[in-house]
A = this chain, B = another copy of it.
Amino acid sequence: MTEESKKLPHPVIRRLPKYLARVHELLHAEVEWVSSQELAEALNLTSSTVRQDLSYLDLTGISKRGYETSSLDAALNKELDSSSHHHIVIVGAGYLGCALAVHGSFAGHGFQTCGIFDIDPSIIGSRVGILKVQPMKNLQQIVDKFGVDIGIIAVPAAAAQEVADQLVAAGVKGLLNLAYASIQIPAGVSMLDARILASLQELAYMIKSKNEETADG
């Protein structure tokens, strides 16, 4: 409440997970120190941006050596709040929802999946990894029981807004929207679009504009 509440610029926030991914690689390779220059090269940034970004973190580098990878890992996790545990529910037990539910690596990074839900009676009750697909009427109960703070929306576009409303009503604090739909949420809740199709479209633009670049002088 007193200090520490310097709000990071959004571009910085989006880069933090990329630093974290890189740091995990370095830790895995048992690299103990990394310089801003090396990080910049790995993430396609300038070293200046890297130092500026890391200056927001609870961390200090050392001249001539750089940043200690283990401290960097800790500082990034602290800032991203992925050191504390987050509890997730997934709504929509289609291919994508199920893939995320059984996806092993979330748990290792502080995100525990506590339930998967659907409205289709024919799949309710079926096993998805260690979970069982539940009907929506159980949502509130699971959210309360586990203190779920994040809901993943993995339903068809037409159902996305209604599911968002239900998740918000159940008390979830953040929504990750994978559906191809625009979602409205109240002010106290956070929402992030993470649609693969949108990424493909963005990538297609990047490819096109790179082509044009090479085409003319």
Which positions in A face B, CB cutoff 8 Å? 1, 5, 7-8, 13-14, 16-18, 20-22, 24-25, 28, 42-43, 79-82, 86, 88, 94-96, 98-100, 102-103, 105-106, 109-111, 149-150, 157-158, 173-176, 180-182, 184, 188, 190, 192-212, 214-216
Whether B180 lies near A21 (C-beta < 8 A) is yes
Q: Report copies per complex.
A: 2
Whether B194 lies near A21 (C-beta < 8 A) is no
Whether A190 lies near B216 (C-beta < 8 A) is no
Measured CA separation A77–B211 after assembly (Å): 17
CB contacts (< 8 Å) of A176 on chain B: these are 196, 199-200, 203
Task: Known contacts A13-B202, A174-B203, A216-B1; decide if A81 and B208 are in contact (CB<8 Å).
Answer: yes
Measured CA separation A176–B110 after assembly (Å): 24
Question: Taking chain A's interface residues, is the majority helix, strand, or loop, or is none over half, making it mixed?
Answer: helix
Measured CA separation A172–B112 after assembly (Å): 35
Measured CA separation A163–B82 after assembly (Å): 28
CB contacts (< 8 Å) of A197 on chain B: these are 17, 105-106, 109, 111
Measured CA separation A202–B15 after assembly (Å): 9
Measured CA separation A25–B1 after assembly (Å): 42
